[in-house]
Structures are given as C-alpha cells and as structure tokens.
C-alpha cells in the first residue's frame, strides 16, 4: 500500500439511551477497526447519545460538553492506544447559552488535531437543530492530520455543493460527513427510496465535482420521539465510501457494523488532470452566488 493510500473504517451504530453503552460500543468497534488495519476511523453524527433534536427540550443542553472535555479525553486515549486518527461528532458547550454541533478530529497520538463546527443548521419536524446549535464560525477549513488533510462537514452540510467546493479549494484531500439522517414513517416506500437515492447521489456528486474521495457515516435504527409528536426517525444507515470519480468502494446496509475500504488520496491528481474542473471555473462570473436569490 503506497503512502497516499489509507485504510478507512466507518462505525455505523444504533444509539442506546445510555451514553455509557454507546461509548463502550464505539470503543470496542474502533479497537476492532484498528486491529484490522484502519488508520482513519469515522464516527456518526452526535454518536454519544440518541438524536435528541427530535424535540425542543432545554434539559437536553445538559448533554453538551466542553472541548477539550470527557469525550476528547477518552477518544484521545483510544486513538493513541490504537495508532489511528478518529473523527468524532460532539455536542459542544462553548459557553453558557452557546452551543455547537462540532466534529473533533483526534490525531493518532491522542491530541486534538482540529475541529469543525457545523455550518448549515436544519429546522424541520423531528430535526429541531436550530433550537440547540449556533451556526459554525470556523469556516470551511481542512484539518491537517498524519493521514492527510481532512475536509470535515456534518450532515445537513452534505446537501450544499458550496461547502464541498470550499473545502476542496482550501486543499482538502478527502471529504468526510458524519451524519444522522433517516425516514419519516409517514412517507411511503417510494418516497423513502427517492430520499435515500438523493442522499447518496448528491454526495457522490461532490466527489465527482471536486475530484476527491467522500466518506459518509450515518447512524441506524428507529429512535422514538421523546415528545411523542411523531413516530420517530428510522435512521437508514447506508454509510458509504467512494473514490474521486464517485465510484463506490464500500457501501453498508441498514444494520449496525463496521464498514472499511482502502482510499487513495493521491488518485485525485490523476482525476483532476483528465477532468480539470478547477482550471475551468469561471470565477469572474460567479458573483451572483453570493446572493440569496437572483430576482
């Protein structure tokens, strides 16, 4: 395996009510992935707890933690003991009354390599994230690690080509999306399939448009709505890893487990030579992209 190829593992997990159980399961899975050779392990969005954003409840702010904090300390120890880089997803307490949905990258020596605060915050039935999270203020900046420059984006960010392109322009070597997305039980089977296909297609499109591999890690399982307003969210899993032309390297189903693949970061050079999209961008004609809408 050449120096620009890395073994990647995704941990696709169903959430228990007890965060201690979730953390123990994650640790076991990370250790298993590392034992199989993974040097980069990606976890799903807000992996420590059930997806609490199904309701607006002030008591849920107790779930937030500082960075550095208990989770970064524990995952730092795991990363160091297993010589792997870990992409975590945490509910960050930045200050009293100020919270973020934050991905934290742990270097293989256990240190914090960097963080990304989710930029696009949804507010839909069952996904009341604007109640909890302040939009990110760190911009779209890749995080340098021993396995490469990681372009971390989070869930709702995955629908925005601007976010992926900004990461690519800043030098990201791979795009990574910790995610929590699933079906509304009121949607029929055809609509559910359309949504799943759209989710996979748009992210593979980011790979193609930017000549970068993409890693998407989603949670699985039905999580009930604590407020009883809906039938809950059936998280659809389907985590996947694709190459710089959007080709699928590994694709999970709807079951919990570890998904692995070898990803070539150096192949972007070859792809961008035959598809020079960055060369042919008309940056002189894109000023309207800074407008909300063109009247």
Q: Which residues are catalytic?
A: 45, 118, 155
Cβ burial 106-118 (10 Å sphere, 16+ → b, else e): bbbebebbbbbbb
Q: 180 and 218 in contact (C-beta within 8 Å)?
A: yes
Taking the C-alpha atoms of residue 237 and residue 239, their distance in angstroms, rounded to an integer, is: 5
Sorted by sequence, the CB contacts under 8 Å of residue 274 that are 6+ apart come out as none
- H or E stretch covering 86: strand 85-95
Distances (CA, A) of 214 to 138, 182, 242: 21, 19, 5
Give the angle 116-237-167 at the CA atoms, nearest 5°: 30
Strand order in the sheet with 257-264: 112-117, 98-106, 85-95, 40-43, 5-12, 257-264
Taking the C-alpha atoms of residue 60 and residue 66, their distance in angstroms, rounded to an integer, is: 15
């Amino acid at each position: 395996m050449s120096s620009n190829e890395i073994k990647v593992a995704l941990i696709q997990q169903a959430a228990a009510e007890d965060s201690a159980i979730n953390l123990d399961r994650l640790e076991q899975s990370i250790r298993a992935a590392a034992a199989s050779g993974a040097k980069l392990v990606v976890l799903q969005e807000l992996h420590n707890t059930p997806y609490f954003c199904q309701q607006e409840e002030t008591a849920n702010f107790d779930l937030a933690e500082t960075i550095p904090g208990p989770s970064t300390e524990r995952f730092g120890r795991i990363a160091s003991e297993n010589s792997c880089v870990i992409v975590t997803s945490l509910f960050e307490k930045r200050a009293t009354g100020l919270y973020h949905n934050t991905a934290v990258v742990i270097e293989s020596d256990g240190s914090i390599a960097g963080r990304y605060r989710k930029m696009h915050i949804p507010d839909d039935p069952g996904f009341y994230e604007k109640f909890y999270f302040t939009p990110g203020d760190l911009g779209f900046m890749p995080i340098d690690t021993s396995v490469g420059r990681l372009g971390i984006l989070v869930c709702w960010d995955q629908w925005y080509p601007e976010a992926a392109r900004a990461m690519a322009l800043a030098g990201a070597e791979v795009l990574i999306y910790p995610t929590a997305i699933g079906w509304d039980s009121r949607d029929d089977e055809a609509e559910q399939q359309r949504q799943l296909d759209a989710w996979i297609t748009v992210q593979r499109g980011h790979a193609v448009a930017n000549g970068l591999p993409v890693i998407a890690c989603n949670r699985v399982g039905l999580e009930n709505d604590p407020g009883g307003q809906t039938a809950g969210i059936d998280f659809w899993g389907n985590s996947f890893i694709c190459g710089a032309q959007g080709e699928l390297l590994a694709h999970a189903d709807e079951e919990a487990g570890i998904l692995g693949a070898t990803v070539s970061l150096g192949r972007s050079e070859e792809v961008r030579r035959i598809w020079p999209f960055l060369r042919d961008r008309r940056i002189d004609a894109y000023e309207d992209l800074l407008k909300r809408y063109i009247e």
